[in-house]
Amino acid sequence: MAVERTDDIETGETEGVGTTADGPDAKVTAPDPKVAAAVAAAEAAGPQNGETVRIDSWIWSVRLVKTRSAGATACRGGHVHVNGDRVKPAHSLRVGDEVRVRQEGWERVVIVKLLIRKRVGAPVAAQCYVDNSPPPPPRAAVAPAGIRDRGAGRPTKRDRRELERLRGLKEGSRRNSLGGSDAG
């Protein structure tokens, strides 16, 4: 019997999940009982054999989106694909379907392992799909120019000119954009 193994990248340790192991280096550990109990409860509350779940409800339940209405909006906007096709929020999802959700500049690619209807915790949600997503794009290391501390008050003329220089605006362009003139 094969064992599902997870590797910890930082420490290099390998953890086996299940009762038997293949090979001498595999450690045998039982899954976390709380997570196992929560997965069992989610399965019991989920659809029975042959039933399906709405896509907007499922992507909310497994925490791919923050709210169900955000899931429905993403479906209507064409940001959710199931097996390569754009879907409506009421699309029926089945085990084995590939779901692609585009959000904030990157795409989550997951394969459905378990259908659930109710929102569950993050460790349980991770048991409901296989994540094949590419790594997210790196965040910008540079702070955006022109952010002032809260409560710093109105900027002085000197501060305003420094902010405009950082933003790449020319001197006087602020006045021109507000309808004033340079002459005067």
CATH number at residue 117: 3.10.290.10
Residues 26 and 36 in one domain: no
| Residue 164 confidence (pLDDT) | 84
37 pLDDT tier (thresholds 50, 70, 90): confident
Q: Is residue 6 part of a domain?
A: yes
Q: Is residue 26 part of a domain?
A: yes
Count of domains observed in the chain: 3
pLDDT per residue as tens digits for the range 40-92: 766 666 666 767 889 999 999 999 999 999 999 999 999 999 999 999 999 99
Instruction: Give yes or no for a contact between 119 and 63, defined as CB atoms under 8 angstroms apart.
Output: yes
| Residue 138 confidence (pLDDT) | 76
Average pLDDT rounded to a whole number, residues 24-45: 63
Q: Is residue 43 part of a domain?
A: yes
Residues 12 and 39 in one domain: no
Residues 45 and 124 in one domain: yes
Q: Which long-range contacts (CB under 8 A, 24 or more apart) does 122-131 make?
A: 122/63, 123/32, 123/35, 123/38, 124/35, 124/38, 124/39, 124/42, 125/61, 125/62, 125/63, 127/35, 127/39, 128/42, 128/61, 128/62, 129/62, 129/99
Residues 91 and 5 in one domain: no
| Residue 90 confidence (pLDDT) | 94
pLDDT per residue as tens digits for the range 103-155: 887 899 999 998 988 898 888 899 899 999 998 877 765 556 667 778 888 88
| Residue 80 confidence (pLDDT) | 95
User: What is the span of the domain harbouring residue 20?
Assistant: 1-30
Q: Which residues of 163-184 are buried (b: 16+ CB within 10 A; e: fewer)?
A: bbeeeeeeeeeeeeeeeeeeee
| Residue 180 confidence (pLDDT) | 53
Which residue did the predictor score with more confidence, 83 or 177? Answer: 83
Residues 49 and 126 in one domain: yes
- Whether residue 9 is predicted with pLDDT greater than 70 in this model: the reply is no
Radius of gyration over every alpha carbon of the chain, rounded to an integer in angstroms: 25
Best-predicted range by mean pLDDT among 11-25, 47-61, 100-114, 163-177?
100-114
